[in-house]
Amino acid sequence: MKAVYSPLHARHDGGMELHRGELVPCFEMPSRADYIRDAVTAAGHGLTAPRDFGLAPILALHDAGLVEFLRSAFDQWKAVGKDGFMLPSGFAARSMRQDVIPPGVNGKLGYYAFDAGTPIVEGTWDAAYASAQCALTAAALVAEGERAAYALCRPPGHHAAKAAYGGYCFLNNAALAAQYLRDQGRATVAVLDVDYHHGNGTQDIFYDRADVLTVSVHGTPETEYPFFRGFADETGTGAGVGFNRNFPLPRGTDWDSYRGVLDTALRVVADFKPDALVIALGVDTYENDPISAFKLKAEHYPLIGAAIARLGLPTVFTQEGGYAVAEIGTNVAAVLTGFEQGQ
């Protein structure tokens, strides 16, 4: 399986995040991608550089104002005499106006961000743009006939919504891959998100559509980020009713419990009969992940890959979470190996 990788991910480096009330160094760090790169190449997956598909696929899914803000945010930050990293200090929450985009950079931060855990630094746009191109390239490889391809996306993407960023995510890589496959003639596409955290951004982008099924198995928003999306009763709107499925699970979920729900999610995908599949691959379900609370072990990741392979679908993997840095590469490579061996 080809692995699409860009070293530009390293330009998104530094800053602090507000995590459960504490200002801490970012859990989403460049070494995550380095460990994954080394592990997937050691497992025999050749690296390939991303192609450049430009802004058009991004603007087809994301609000133009959000994209322009992300492109220019750090320049705006420097223009008001600031440096370092950017975090919002206020949000367009309930009772606040949401129909006016503030002209100043601090107001725009709170307008487009939905958390204070996703710092912007000088190289953030370069990294986010390259990450999106990795996802699009992996989708192109599959559209051109590859059985599967893996996009080593950093920063991740599944929390990025149509017009908002957060959760370490700026552009929605999984959604970009799914839309690319649609544009290349796949009549229907399914996105299966196995990250510990709900893929609220992917849900938002496709929530009113019947051509892209979104399915997520994740920690319950009753206690887990992003807190305000990911409940089981969120099933779509308009033409999309019934084409979004959420499977929230409690803290402490182990493999025996997780496996049954994953099997159910895979049956939902199979019943949809998609022409292609996108896996939003988070391995923060691992028992030692510092910001998650499932109890999966290293031995379970090949089983996840094999279960996905049994669907028999052309498949794009986009990298999402996983913050047990030393183990992240091993667990990602195990999913890919399990997929290949399970074909």
CA distance 3 to 9: 15
CA atoms within 13 A on the CB side of 271: 11
Phi then psi for residue 294, to 5 deg, are -85, 175
Specify the 3-state DSSP secondary structure of 74.
Answer: helix
Specify the 3-state DSSP secondary structure of 104.
Answer: coil
CA distance 141 to 135: 10
Q: How far is C-alpha 274 from the geometric centre of its chain's CA atoms?
A: 20
What dihedral do alpha carbons 17, 332, 173, 255 form, nearest 10°? -80
- Residue 226 structure tokens: 């992003």
CA distance 10 to 128: 10
Specify the 3-state DSSP secondary structure of 291.
Answer: coil
CA atoms within 13 A on the CB side of 147: 12
In which residue are the tokens 């709170």 written? 110
Active site residue 158: no
CA distance 64 to 67: 5
- Residue 161 structure tokens: 């919504």
Strands 189-193, 22-25: parallel, antiparallel or unpaired by DSSP? Answer: unpaired
Active-site annotation holder among 45, 158, 159, 218: 159
The residues assigned a catalytic role are: 159
